[in-house]
Amino acid sequence: MNIIISNTSDKPIYQQIFEQVSAQIVKGELERDFCLPPIRTVAKQLRISVITVKKAWEELEHRGFIYTMVGKGCFVAPLLPGERATKRDELVVEKLKKDIEYYKGLGLTLPELIELIRRYYGS
């Protein structure tokens, strides 16, 4: 499991952790029943508050990416291939909704946005 925190990002740190771990799960990089490192270990490695990591883990559990076994730790939830794609799509749509509102605020039309996506998607 690899997590990189950006102190210059607009996103809260717990959100950065959530996004990176959930992405690793939907891509299959973290397999079902993989035991996530303890919250305190992650907090120490990232030099952040235990509360911040706990908040990320809680969001991952709330959204169905992980489950907790009391006294044993947090584990990657079993996802069938269809569920994995559904979770991935949910993450994409969540981000797109926010981004599209921003683009609309800039006066960008749908055809202009599509053209920009086509131009830069492969880059």
6-23 pLDDT, tens digit per residue, is 999 999 999 999 999 999
The answer on pLDDT for 123 being more than 70 is no
Q: Are 34 and 67 in contact (CB under 8 A)?
A: no
Instruction: Report d(CA 75, CA 62) in Å as an integer.
Output: 13
Residues 90, 63 share a domain: no
Domain count, the chain: 2
- Give me the residue label for tokens 């690899």: 2
- Domain range enclosing 64: 1-79
pTM of the complete model: 0.82
Q: Return mean pLDDT, the chain.
A: 93
73 shares a domain with 105? no
Residues 31, 73 within the same domain? yes
Q: Say yes or no: 40 and 92 in one domain.
A: no
In this structure, the answer to whether residues 12 and 27 fall within a common structural domain is yes
